[in-house]
Structure 1
Amino acid sequence: MSLLTPELRAALRQQACSDAADKRPLAKLFNPMGAATWLASELGEDGDTLFGLADLGFGCPELGYFSLREIEALRLPFGMRIERDLTFATRHSLAVWAAWSRKAGSILSAEALLRRATATGSDLADRFPPSG
């Protein structure tokens, strides 16, 4: 089973072909039994290469390329597999996600901080995280 619907694949491909500087992550993939999380903003022509923010749970999220096929091939204990967050949606750019994730140490911690900052009605979330 593919983690990406045809519509999501098309949106990721369209964003890959765009010259826009502030691309948003469109898909969140995660390990339901661990901390690994991926935010994908683009899909390569090969239908396999994703670009986005990868966090394997070691405290250093980084931007880069990752393979959809490799992620789909991962087998976890108890027959579980990597999943896609069906409710994921964001107005924040990948650059904002990367900055907040690096500051917080993980995508999951950044997600909580961004949600809290957004809930206050402040535009703070759209800026890079405060230092300190």
Structure 2
Amino acid sequence: IKHAPLIRNNESYIMLQNGLQYTRQWMNKIIGEEMVEIMFEFAKKFNELNLTQEEYALIFPIVICIKDKTINDQETVHHIQCCYLYALYTQMLATRTQLEAKTIFRNLLQILSFLPLLNELQEKKVGSIIPE
């Protein structure tokens, strides 16, 4: 989510701390083509939503509250997530027609539903390249 705006036109414009560009070519070599393809498809769909800065900012707490097996009190986290989802939808209604807000919100929920799978794949991939 954080780097999605830096993935456009089938290329990555992510800059590393040392000033190097983390291009798609480098990503393919480091984390593999399958993972990169999934990340780019996710970023493409996310970017197509054309969220405002306010909407984009509300995405982060929603993502933090996505179901995680390691969290003990899932119910409280889910309630917190619902509050942020409500705030996001309200924000969308403030800047869009009701139909547009409803459509974008529905599409966003579909995109976010892929995050647990993407996180799991990334965790496996990153875990496989870290030396023990």
Question: TM-score under structure 2 normalisation?
Answer: 0.27
Which entry has the higher C-alpha Rg, 1 or 2? 2
Question: TM-score under structure 1 normalisation?
Answer: 0.27
Relative to total residues, which structure has the larger helix share, 1 or 2?
A: 2
